[in-house]
Amino acid sequence: MGDSTWLDAHEQAELVRSGQASPSELVDAAIDRIERVNPQLNAVIHERFDKARAEAAGDLPDGPFRGVPLLLKDLGAMSEGDPYHCGAKFLKELGYTADHDSSYVTRFRQAGFVIVGRTNVPEFGSTVTTEPLAYGACHNPWNLDYSTGGSSGGSGAAVASGLTAIAHGNDGGGSIRIPACQNGIVGLKPTRARVSQAPDVGEAWMGGTIDGVLTRSVRDTAAGLDCIAGGEPGDPYPAPPLERPLAQEVGVDPGSLRIGLLDHPLMPGIEANAECAAAVHATGKLLESLGHKVEVSHPEAFGDGEFQGQFVNIVSVASATDLDAWGRKIGRPVTADDVEPGNWLFAEIGRSITAPMYVTSVEWMHQYQRRMAAWWATDGFDILVTPVLNGPPPALGYLSDPEEGLNRVISYLQYTAQFNITGQPGISLPLATSENGLPIGIQFVGDYGREDVLIRLASQLEQAQPWADKHPSVHG
């Protein structure tokens, strides 16, 4: 079979289709890489090796990725009979397991993927660095002293290091794009409701959370999303339909797009990181060389200082609701001793918000969505380009510091959460590198429902400035 470490999911699937490799060989190779490399990374926290080997040797569905190994994030993606701990120590101590598959996990299986394990997350996915007390920090494969981002940090590190070519992630404030940015891979946050969260969730965080994949190639991102996209009966609302599968957009000429650049935070008192700003401008020059119309511009509403407080209201109420729901599942209330202090604080804030206050925040956000959408719909722009984060990957411990961590997270998190609320698709591409050799991702945001435009542009950029041969020092 040869070494499959740096083959993307398409190439691995072709080995199976052509008879050059069996699903069992691909799965065994992935398990070998995890066993050798993961002790340095702490990216995979639940091994599923025996089940994966049995499934690979059995009658797999004849889907487009038959036999390709896949990792699931240990948050949101429930797989029947497997641990489901969400980075929380009380669920770890209880040995909690899922009693059913999330709908998109079933779709992953139907596509032929073989689930080999589950990946590390910050507790309940509530921050942008993966350092849960329950499982310990996940380490960046480019430099083990640095963060992998969050909350899909384990998935990001696993894909970047070649453990698997593709992994599940989800995004409520940047949690696919941020790990993609900090690990030097591709991460697309789909349009709101593009992927159903059935059967357990209709919408979370006012529709701000969404599931997707982290990969090393644009075509894997497109086809991976095709596998899990689509509604389920009873979903509260659908995403706008795409004209054709996203895999068919790879390599399609995007034409000459009108693109706006934003290189600095708009929150008062937050200074722009010079390396990230420079990366945005370098990307602007690359886009111009490809025939796009580039100008310094962004939606005026993007700088509305009230957004942060309204977003905290939405997330805090959700945090309180989630802890109450877990209390019902485990048969006793969840207490401050069960969760990390930051999550308990969020829940306490959520319990202090009355129903009228919450609805007021939702209504404010609805108006914010309309003001943001005008830049695309009325001003005529196709794409907004920003940094993903206001800084390269920080050292482990920097964002989780008990005294200064929250303020540091706010300083970093300047460009992503807005598009969870607007529901627009955004993708992080590995187009820059920091002075100390760490990845810097660039964010591209499309109009509502226009993942097709993002995939066309991302594919063009992948050809113009390839990243496939760039590998971290720690790898499979």
Active site residues: 73, 151, 175
The angle subtended at Cα 88 by Cα 86 and Cα 91, nearest 5°, is 90
**Which distant-in-sequence residues (6+ apart) come within 8 Å of 70 by Cβ?**
108, 113, 114, 115, 116, 164, 166, 167, 168
Position 403, amino acid: E
Phi and psi at residue 463, to the nearest 5°? -75, -35
Residue of 323, 332, 311 lying closest to 418 (CA atoms): 311
The angle subtended at Cα 182 by Cα 417 and Cα 323, nearest 5°, is 50
- Cα distances from 393 to residues 41, 265, 390, 398, in angstroms, run 15, 17, 10, 10
Phi and psi at residue 216, to the nearest 5°? -105, -5
Q: How far apart are CA 14 and CA 161, in angstroms?
A: 21
Position 461, amino acid: L
Is residue 44 within 8 A of residue 38, CB to CB? The reply is yes
Q: How far apart are CA 244 and CA 248, in angstroms?
A: 7
Q: How far apart are CA 78 and CA 214, in angstroms?
A: 17
Place of tokens 């969840």: 334
Place of tokens 């420079």: 278
Residue 265 has, within 13 A of its CA and on its CB side, a CA count of 20
Q: How far apart are CA 211 and CA 411, in angstroms?
A: 25
Place of tokens 């002293």: 145
Number of DSSP helices (H) and strands (E) in the chain, helices first:
15, 11
Q: How far apart are CA 400 and CA 341, in angstroms?
A: 11
